[in-house]
Amino acid sequence: MSSRRILAHPGLVVGLTATAGFALLALVSLFWTPYPIGEVSIARRFALPSAEHWLGTDQLGRDMLSLVMSGTLTSFTVGSMAVVIGVGIGVPLGLAAAIYGGLVEWLVLRFSDLTFAFPAVVIAILIATLMGPGASNAIIAIGIFNVPVFAQVARGGTLTVSTLDFVGAARLAGLSRIGIAWRHLLPNIMSLIIVQGTIQLSLGILAEAGLSYIGLGTQPPETSLGLMLRDAQSLFLIHPSLSLVPGLAIVIIVIALNIAGDGLRDVLDPRLRSRRRADAAR
């Protein structure tokens, strides 16, 4: 895709810019935050925004800006690692189902049904409980539900693409099924996967917030936007900014990702647009 096509799409520009901004903020927190996030100081808690603390401090006197930076990193990490799990397992499954059909397809579809049939929230809670609460286990709990989503996207995309002329030509030229999948199918469904990836990423960030709300997501002294929001919930009437800052951060990030996803879909491959269960798969 050309840069002109990107620039011609204002939503995509806004979405990508905002996402990149937050991603940058998050990455910087790997090396530097204004204050260490574990540094508790009760004497300076609930400070209003000032030159020292741009966004003020929280109930333990920690710097809110540092927490937002680090929390964004955790939220992004959980969301994107869950996508990696979904893509890594789901896409090969979906491709295999489409290429081989028969029993393979039946098994993949049954697995898909099974995962959709499980009450997602209950299973996520069970997994988090089983493995102990924490960000890394939230990744698994969320990632499992990304697997059938990407399997379906890959399978659906492949079924559409494989009827196209060049696939038939490749088959005539004697390429093996795996060869076709690798050389022709995967690149063609890549755009679908990327689009779905941005959507699942945003859903993952929301899911992490939900898990954190019931106490099974990220655990202190680590922080995430969801955890910050939960900790501030009971203080909302006294110190609303503690809740507004992470809350708005989540809203903006999710919107940015969704807008970027919509834009990418338009720009990358308008032809395949109609085939998506994207929005449904929450």
Least Å from the CB of residue 14 to other proteins: 11
134 or 179: CB nearest other proteins:
134
Q: Which helix (H) or strand (E) holds 29?
A: helix 10-31
Nearer to other proteins, 3 or 274 (CB): 274
Of 28 and 109, CB closest to other proteins: 109
Site residues for other proteins per CB under 8 A: 38-43, 45, 59-61, 106, 109-110, 113-114, 116-122, 125-126, 129-130, 132-134, 159, 202, 206, 209-210, 213-215, 219-221, 226, 229-230, 233-238, 243, 247, 250-255, 258-259, 273-274, 277, 279-282
Q: How far is the CB of 174 from other proteins (least distance, A)?
A: 27
The Cα 2–Cα 22 span in angstroms is 24
| Shortest Cβ 173–other proteins spacing (Å) | 26
Tokens 């501030």 label which residue?
Answer: 232
What is the nearest approach in angstroms of other proteins to the Cβ of residue 29? 18
- Residue 56, by phi and psi: left (phi above 0), alpha (psi -120 to 50) or beta? left
Neighbours of 252 (CB within 10 A): 14
Give the residue with the Cβ less far from other proteins, 38 or 187. 38
CB nearer other proteins, residue 49 or residue 133: 133
Distances in whole angstroms, Cα of residue 126 to Cα of each of 83, 119, 211, 272: 20, 11, 11, 37
User: Cα-flanking dihedrals φ and ψ of residue 85, to 5°?
Assistant: -60, -45
Least separation in angstroms between residue 282's CB and other proteins is: 6
Contact 205, 250 (CB under 8 A): yes
Angle ∠(10,13,19) on CA atoms, nearest 5: 140
